Amino acid sequence: MKIAILGGGGYVGLVTGATFSELGNVVYLFDVDQRKISLLKTGKVPIHEPGLEEIVRYGLEQKKLIPTSDAEEAIRNTEIGFITVGTPPGVDGAADLQYVLSAADTVIRMAQDNYVLVIKSTVPPGTADLIQKRLNGKKIHIASNPEFLKEGKAVEDAKTPERIVIGVTSKYAEQVLNNLYKAVTAHNRPIFVMTPTEAELTKYASNSLLATKISSFNELANICDVASANFSKVRDAVCADSRIGKAFSHAGPGYGGSCFPKDIPALVQYARSKGYDPKLLQETHETNERQKQVIFNKLKSHFGMLKGKRIAVWGIAFKPDTDDIREAPSIPLINSLIDEGAQVAAYDPFAMQNAKKLFGGKIEYASTPEDAAKGADAICLLTEWKQLRSPDWNFLKGIMRSHVIIDGRNIYDDLELLRSKGFTYFGIGRR
């Protein structure tokens, strides 16, 4: 097939388009960001995602992947287009659809009859219907096909998704999308066909339930803290119940990234606009915002005054295997430390450039985790990068000023070893 990706330089669009091209489709990656298009034409990618650069280069070599900043070239030469642009939150938390609607209007203006326009961006229920009303009699098939890509494993998810959700109102659009996903469904992945509104809601429902589970376990970890109980032991016993399971059960400093922090408030605002107040989802979001202060609160409780203290922050990205720092728990921690007059030395193997754009000269950027720890009063681990899982504690003991470890991901298990070397250790739910 010949496919256009609108927003092809972005996270969802690039992963989706590159994966489709690897399956033999001709894919036009359209983006208004000239820098991203120029970079892609050289075989480089503007984001860090394992395995992505390899399939982008393969697509370019095979002439199956065509980066372009010419919308007409992308749309006129294709039969199906995917909208993958962002839906950032507005002031009230509702999803801002200006980029989605702009992309849709571009396709409506340029596409031939029987074009299939697919919304892959995360949008509120009713967005496909809204675009349908903008057709002005033009014969374009509107569909919804939400993405379920996990950052750090996005290429794997695109190639072998757990499920494919298709929202359609025409048999033609359903047939086109089924044909497109044949190579993927060879892996026996289920396809769920429904209305566009149901597909749009499916994405929000998935993220809401996962976010609620994370906030619930973080709340339990905090209770374990005040009860002087070991959360890890409680969690393991609780998750042995097959109805609960271990996925998304680990305690931490709150969820971040481009999805959960944006999508939960968006669904809350959508529900309220329809006259329903989803109090559980609102509390899920508020619990997560409070959880982002848990590491700072532990520092404050231990040291009292933080002015003049040197704090090493290990990990800035919101999760491993990505350079994405959007809504990362590291951001409110660093901002709070700066406000307190602490000196912050940060390290992350891939997110440093994004951190520099955000913090500028307010913090120190270390080239290694050890450099960040030199003269530090405490190390705060925010991201469970594999590079940070087995530090040389003897070396760190010799270079730190005082010896406090705040393990925001509970990745260090030999607590007796740490204590024997003179470290004071704090985890989440591990008082």
**CA–CA gap between residue 255 and residue 74 (Å, rounded):** 36
Q: What is the pLDDT of residues 99-141, one digit of tens each?
A: 999 999 999 999 999 999 999 999 999 999 999 999 999 999 9
* Top CATH class, 204-290: mainly alpha
Q: Is 259 a catalytic residue?
A: yes
The percent of residues in the chain predicted with pLDDT above 90, rounded, is 97
**CA–CA gap between residue 343 and residue 377 (Å, rounded):** 10
Local confidence band at 188 (pLDDT 50, 70, 90 cut-offs): confident
pLDDT of 187 strictly over 80: no
pLDDT of 292 strictly over 90: yes
Sorted by where each begins, the domain ranges of the chain are 2-194, 204-290, 292-426
pLDDT of 185 strictly over 80: no
Tokens found for residue 77: 């030469």
Q: What is the pLDDT of residues 4-46, one digit of tens each?
A: 999 999 999 999 999 999 999 999 999 999 999 999 999 999 9
Q: What is the pLDDT of residues 223-238, one digit of tens each?
A: 999 999 999 999 999 9
Q: 277: which residues sit within 8 A by CB, 6+ positions away?
A: 271
Local confidence band at 186 (pLDDT 50, 70, 90 cut-offs): low
pLDDT of 429 strictly over 90: yes
Q: What is the pLDDT of the chain when averaged over all its residues?
A: 96
Residue 312 φ then ψ, to 5°: -90, 125
Give the H/E segment covering residue 81. strand 80-83
Local confidence band at 152 (pLDDT 50, 70, 90 cut-offs): very high
The pLDDT of 43-62, averaged and rounded, is 97
Longest dimension (CA), the chain: 75
Res 337: pLDDT: 98
* Top CATH class, 2-194: alpha beta
pLDDT of 419 strictly over 80: yes
The pLDDT of 252-263, averaged and rounded, is 96
Res 123: pLDDT: 98
Res 30: pLDDT: 98
The pLDDT of 248-267, averaged and rounded, is 97
The pLDDT of 399-419, averaged and rounded, is 96
pLDDT of 182 strictly over 80: yes
- The side-by-side arrangement of strands in the sheet containing 424-426 is 364-365, 343-347, 310-314, 378-381, 404-407, 424-426
Amino acid identity, position 348? D
**CA–CA gap between residue 331 and residue 318 (Å, rounded):** 9
pLDDT of 175 strictly over 90: yes
pLDDT of 431 strictly over 90: no
The pLDDT of 49-59, averaged and rounded, is 97
CA angle 369, 330, 40 (to 5 degrees): 80
Q: What is the pTM of this model?
A: 0.94
Domains 2-194 and 292-426 share a fold: yes
- What kind of fold does domain 292-426 have according to CATH? Rossmann fold (3.40.50)
